[in-house]
Structures are given as C-alpha cells and as structure tokens.
Amino acid sequence: MKPVRSALALALIFCISNGLAPDASAQSADAAAADRFVAGINQEIRDNYVEISAAQWVSETYINGDTEVLVAKANERALSRLSANVEKSKQFRTVAGIAPATQRSIDLLRLQTAMPAPKDPAKLAELTQIASRLNAAYGSGKSCTDESKPETCRNLDQLSKVLAENRDWDADLEAWTAWHNVARDMRKDYARFAELVNEGAREMDYANAGDMWRASYDMSAADFRKETDRLWSQVEPLYKDLQCYARHKLEQQYPGKLAKDGTIPAHITGNMWAQDWAALYPLLQPYPGVSNLDVDAALKEKNYTPETMIRRAEDFYTSIGFPSLPKSFYEKSQLKRPADRDVVCHASAWDLNLEGDVRIKMCININEEDFRTIYHELGHIYYYLAYNKLPVLFQTGAHDGFHEAVGDTIQLNLTPGYLAEVGLAGASKPSKEAMLNAQMKQALEKVAFLPFGKLIDEWRWGVFDGSIKPDGYNAAWWALKRKYQGVAPTVARSEADFDPGAKYHVPGNTPYMRYFLAHILQFQFQRELCKAAGYSGPLHECSIYGNKAAGAKFWAMLEKGASQPWQSTLKELTGKGEMDASAILDYFAPLHSWLKQQNKGKRCGWN
C-alpha cells in the first residue's frame, strides 16, 4: 500500500506544481487513497500499541532507571511514527471528495498525542528522555530529613495523610511545604520540555502546544477558550458562596491566622493542591453529627478489601446492563502500593491492547475517597470496552471531558439510598439536615474542584504561548490560584520553587481541562439518565442503580467514541448539542440556598 500511496502523492504534487487541477477521476482516486491511508494508520497503531502501552505500564509500576530508559525509547519510536504519519497526511488536505469518516480520522491523527515531538531525531530523543525523567521524579518523589536514612523519608501518600487527617496548622504547613519543595528540581526540565513540544506543535501547523490541545474539541482554539469561560461564569457564583462559607469557618478554627485579603491558606484545605476540600467536612458540615453516611467506618466494619471494593463498583455497572469485567482485569491490575519498589500511585485506567486487556493502577486504601475513585476509574474501563470495536483512531472519548465524566456520573448515583441498599449506610431517606450535610460533603469534592480544574491549563496555555515565561512560572501559578480559587500560600514562594510540578498532571503532561469539563458534563449526563430511568424527583436523590433503560442510553453514547463530533454525541444523549452547567446548579440548589443564608452580612470575595 505504501508504494501506491507514494505514487498518488507524487502525481498530485506534479499536477499542482504545473498549475493544473486534478480532474474528477484523479480526485476519486485520491479520495480512495485517503481511505487506504487511514486504514493503514489504524492497523499500524494497533500493531505497535502493545509495545508502547506495556512500556508505560511498567515504567509506572516498577520505577527504576531501566524502565525509565524503556519507556523513553518506546515513546521515541511512537512519536517518530506519529510525526511521519502526520507529515504524510498533509498530502490529502486539498483532496476533494474524501469521506467524512476518513477526513475525521485524518484530523484526529494530528491529535493523537499531547506531546507533539520535533522531527529532529536528537530533539525527539531529548523530549522523550525529559518526559520520562519528569514522570519518574514525581512518582519517586520523597521528602527526607536525612537522605542517608530512608526511614526519615515521606512520600506523597504519607504527606497527604497529614493534611487530610490533621487540623494542626504547623504540622499541615510542614507537610505541604515538604511536598511542594520536592518539585523544585523539575523546573529546568519543564522549561525545556515546553520549548520542545511547542516546536513539535508548530511543525504540525499549530501556533503552539496549547493551541493544539484546544483544537481537539471540534471548534477553534479561540472558541474553546470562550466556551470554558462561559461554563465557569455559570458555576462561579456557587463556588464563591462555598468559598466564603468555608473561609469563615476556618477563621473560627484558626483564629488570627488567616490573611485579611479573603483568601484561604493553601495548606489547610485538607488536600495537597486545595483541589478537594472533602477532608474539611467535619468542620464545615451544616448540622454536626446529623448523618447516616460514615462510609469509611462501614467499609472497615464489613471487612472490605481492595478487590471487594472493585467488585462492589463493578456490580453497579453490571446492574445497568454493562458487561462484567474480564478475568484478566483482576489478575493484572495494580491495586495496592507494593512494599518493594516505587510506583506511581496516582489512580489511572489502562487499555493495554485495544482488545480487552483493561486494568487500573491504584494504591487503594479502605476509605470512602478511594471507594468513589474506583467507580470513576471503572468509567474509563467501560468506555474502553464500549468503543473497542471502532477503528483505532475513533477509540477515545467524544472529547476528553466525556472520558472523565463517565465514572463521575456513576459516582453521583452513590446516594444515601444506594449506599443503604448495598449495606454501606443507614436510612435510605435522610432528613433535611442529613441531606444538606450530604450535599456539603459532595460540594467540597465537586464544586471546590471547579476553579482548580480550569486554572491548571490556563497556566500551561500561558507557558506554551509565551505569556508566562520560565522566570515567572511560580508567580503566574499563584496568581491563577488566587484569581480562580481564592487560595494563597502562607509561606513565601519564589521562582526557586516550581509548585505546578507538585501536581502529577504537569510533570506527567496530562491536559487538565478535561476534568473541568467532566465536572460540568457529569451533572448534565445524570439529569438525562434519570429522565431515561423515569425518575422525576430532586436530582440529588436520583440513582439509576439497577435501571437498564438508563444504562442502555449511556452505553449507546459510549459506543460512539470519537466517531463523530462531540456535539452530535451529546445531542443524542441530552437533546442539546452544547455543554450546560445548569444541571450542577439544579443538583446543589438546596445547598446553595442554605449557603446564601449563612453568608448574609459576612464579607465575601477576595483581593
């Protein structure tokens, strides 16, 4: 096939270079060549997929110098193939009559990686080596009081546990600072990394890597930026009322310690990145002690293990008509932190061969947070299984926010009623006070996340377009944290620090706007699935557990993958071809009304 495609390309170049337009028969032939080109690309990706996915899996589950080399070389080969294929695809840009599915495949080919590589082999190798180093530095990161004594070292899990479980100002500040200081050495590598991916993006005809990332949403990069701003404007009032309430409660907990500018100190949110405030629930619950939702205690009382937690989540998916997980899932997944080696514990879902070898990688603790995370990760797994039959270039989410929203939607169904049904809660119909407590608990996870979900890529887009320069990385990071979250550091942070690198997705080069979009879409999805299930009550009380009509509608969406623009896929599910944050406002309406009452007469907002 390659010689035929090369001959057709040469014929087209010859006609254009002589000022002639190809005749109708030539156009037809070239359209057919485009079909063959796409078929060949799909097969090439499939043939090489196992090598790169296995190397990446091993590099995250067995972190050492050898696996770092293996994944760097595998990434290098994969990116080299991609660059060559993107270059070859340019021959079809002026060809008329290409089938819509073929044209979409060619367009998606350019977006197969978030790490566009330069054509120069030396720079390509440099990029993959830096990417591998950054990933390994994060996964093996530790804070040690004495480097010669391993027992004095603490990893991210241990430092995060301090923030989650300890309300001591000084202890939390020490743990927060210890982890953020781990990222300092990443700065130089990251600056060079940004230069190299920008060069790769320009060679693919994008202005920079940020423009390339935004081009993956079936709209222009500029329009996508406006879209994220529009969605944020819908949810910002809800977030600001939550931030105001939380800040005044924290002032009571830490009298005289909070700055007077209206911000919340980053280290006292219970989370290393202030992205999730769930650990503050005991301080912030509207009606202390009024709840039947102590899932942590219930999991321990019923002797749940990592595997039984997964099987409980699998049961939800199968109850709505999804298939059982393959046996290999339980045999090959990483469910616990190994005692004998460093691993990346950040939860993730994997499709190792595009044919059903699906796995998750987690270091599961027996608590509610990880219990809910499992439902999220299985959402990715079932998306993989649903679209596995499609051509490889269509085997991804309608857009990346869809992929994140699937499992999050199922999380919304873990209502008191559902938890009572599976034996993890008391009464299935909570009182008004208990309902508000449950809403607060969920808002501290879902609503508190929204500005964080937006700001990470706002920062990276600035890095990629040059408006944020290396000598201002940290200042820009904290300016965005303040602007969107109303969060600020208590201790001075300077350009000797690289606090963005303390968050996995920055050294791991994972685009993050997907999570912001997912936090919008999951409520939009849930509202429609509840309608499909015949439910007509308050949205926050709905669970589709056991409803196969809702499950069938959801599965039909998953099966489409990226085979059509996301607007069409969303319209098929919801009747509306645009993302809409009104569902999140519907869901949290009782809590929002309560927050407004609590904030009356109090100073809200931040400088």
* Three-state secondary structure of 162-219: HHHHCCCHHHHHHHHHHHHHHHHHHHHHHHHHHHHHHHHHHHCCCCCHHHHHHHHHCC
* Mean pLDDT for the stretch of residues 119-142: 92
Per-residue pLDDT at 562? 96
- Please identify which of the residues 515, 533, 540, 587 carries the catalytic annotation: 515
Q: Give start and end residues of each alpha helix (H) in 413-502.
A: 416-421, 432-465, 473-480
Reported for 213-216, long-range contacts at CB under 8 A and 24+ positions apart, including other chains, are 213/114, 213/457, 213/461, 213/511, 213/513, 214/461, 215/110, 215/111, 216/111, 216/399, 216/400
Residue 3: its pLDDT value, please? 34
pLDDT 10s digits, 339-391: 888 888 889 999 999 999 999 999 999 998 899 999 999 999 999 999 999 99
Among 68, 76, 377, 445, the active-site one is 377
Q: What is the mean pLDDT of the chain?
A: 91
Q: Is 69 buried (19+), middle (13-18) or exposed (0-12) by CB count in 10 A?
A: middle
On the question of pLDDT at 16 being above 60, the answer is no
Annotated catalytic residue 376: yes
Task: Please pick, among 505, 519, 540, 592, the residue that the annotation labels catalytic.
Answer: 505
Q: For 298-316, what is the mean pLDDT?
A: 96
Q: How far is CA 245 from CA 220, 438, 513, 586, 587, in A?
A: 38, 16, 26, 20, 19
Place of tokens 């999804």: 322
Output the six-digit token pair for 500. Answer: 């963005």
CA distance 78 to 200: 14
Number of H helices, E strands in the chain: 24, 6
**Beta-bridge mates of residue 143:** 154
Catalytic residue among 346, 421, 479, 559: 346
The answer to whether residue 210 scores a pLDDT higher than 50 is: yes
pLDDT in tens, 408-426: 999 999 998 899 999 998 7
The answer to whether residue 377 is catalytic is yes
Contact criterion met (CB below 8 Å) for 193 and 127: yes
Q: Which region, left, alpha or beta, applies to residue 218 given φ > 0 means left and ψ of -120 to 50 means alpha? A: left
Among 404, 445, 458, 528, which one carries the catalytic annotation?
404
Judge whether 180 counts as a catalytic residue. no
In terms of C-beta density within 10 A (0-12 exposed, 13-18 middle, 19 or more buried), how is residue 180 classed? buried
Residue 11: which pLDDT band, with cuts at 50, 70 and 90?
very low
Using the 8-state DSSP alphabet, how is residue 112 labeled? S
Q: Which range, 7-11, 147-151, 308-312, is most confident? A: 308-312
What's the rounded mean pLDDT across residues 53-77? 89
114/208 Cα distance (integer angstroms): 12
Residue 14 in this model has a pLDDT that exceeds 50: no
pLDDT value, residue 22: 34
Q: Is 136 a catalytic residue?
A: no
Is residue 582's pLDDT more than 50?
yes
pLDDT for the residue numbered 428: 65
Q: Active site includes 515?
A: yes
Give the pLDDT confidence of 255-267 residue by residue, as tens digits. Answer: 999 999 999 999 9
What whole-number distance in Å separates Cα of residue 453 and Cα of residue 456?
A: 6
Range in 136-150, 156-170, 483-497 the model is least confident about: 136-150
Q: Is 382 a catalytic residue?
A: no
Contacts for 277-282 with beta carbons within 8 Å, 24 or more apart? 277/246, 277/444, 277/445, 277/448, 278/369, 278/441, 278/444, 278/445, 279/163, 279/164, 279/165, 280/246, 280/249, 280/250, 280/444, 281/440, 281/441, 281/444
Question: Can you tell me the distance from the alpha carbon of 486 to that of 488, in angstroms, rounded to the nearest whole number?
Answer: 7
Counted residue by residue, the chain has a size of 607
Query: Which residue blocks in 110-145 are alpha helix, DSSP H?
Result: 121-139
Does the annotation count 248 as an active-site position? Answer: no
> How confident is residue 80, by pLDDT bands cut at 50, 70 and 90?
confident
Is pLDDT at 15 greater than 90 in this prediction?
A: no
| Mean pLDDT, rounded, for 224-237 | 97
User: Which residues have C-beta within 8 Å of that of residue 179, sequence separation ≥ 6?
Assistant: 141, 143, 156, 159, 160, 272, 502
Tokens of 208: 């920079």
User: What mean pLDDT comes out for the span 402-409?
Assistant: 96
* Range name among 66-75, 172-181, 376-385 with the lowest pLDDT average: 66-75
Is residue 157 predicted with pLDDT exceeding 70?
Answer: yes
Q: How confident is the model at residue 292 (pLDDT cuts 50, 70, 90)?
A: low
The answer to whether residue 79 scores a pLDDT higher than 90 is: no
Active site residue 314: no
Region at 109 (left for phi over 0; alpha for psi -120 to 50; beta for the rest): alpha
Listed residue (514, 497, 496) closest to 505, CA to CA: 514
Asked whether 499 and 493 are in contact (CB, 8 A), the reply is yes
Which residues on neighbouring strands pair with residue 488, listed in sequence order? 265
Return the closest-CA partner of residue 109 out of 142, 138, 139, 87: 87
pLDDT at 10 over 70: no
CA distances from 134 to 152, 168, 241, 303 (A): 23, 32, 37, 38
How would residue 83 be classed by pLDDT, with cut points 50, 70 and 90?
confident
The reported pTM is 0.87
At residue 93, the pLDDT reads 82
pLDDT at 29: 43
Average pLDDT over residues 581-606: 97
Residue 571 neighbours by CB under 8 Å, 6+ apart: 577
**For the segment 236-249, what is each residue's pLDDT rounded down to a tens digit?**
999 999 999 999 99
d(CA 340, CA 324): 32
For residue 153, give the 3-state DSSP assignment.
strand
| Res 192 pLDDT > 70 | yes
Residues 251, 255, 259, 264, CA torsion sign:
negative
pLDDT at 507 over 80: yes
- 482 pLDDT exceeds 70? yes
Q: Which contacts of 343-348 are long-range, i.e. CB under 8 A and separated by 24 or more positions? A: 343/60, 343/61, 343/62, 343/63, 343/139, 344/60, 344/61, 344/63, 344/135, 344/138, 344/139, 344/504, 345/139, 345/156, 345/157, 346/504, 346/508, 347/373, 347/376, 347/377, 348/60, 348/377
Mean pLDDT of 221-225: 94
Q: Report, as an integer, the average pLDDT of 75-93.
A: 86
Q: Which of 188, 196, 184 is CA-nearest to residue 126? A: 196
Angle of helix 368-387 relative to helix 548-559, nearest 10 degrees, comes to 60
pLDDT of residue 427: 65
Tokens 């899996």, residue located:
57
Q: Which of 11, 347, 476, 589 is catalytic?
A: 347
Q: How far is it, in rounded angstroms, from Cα 131 to Cα 384?
A: 25
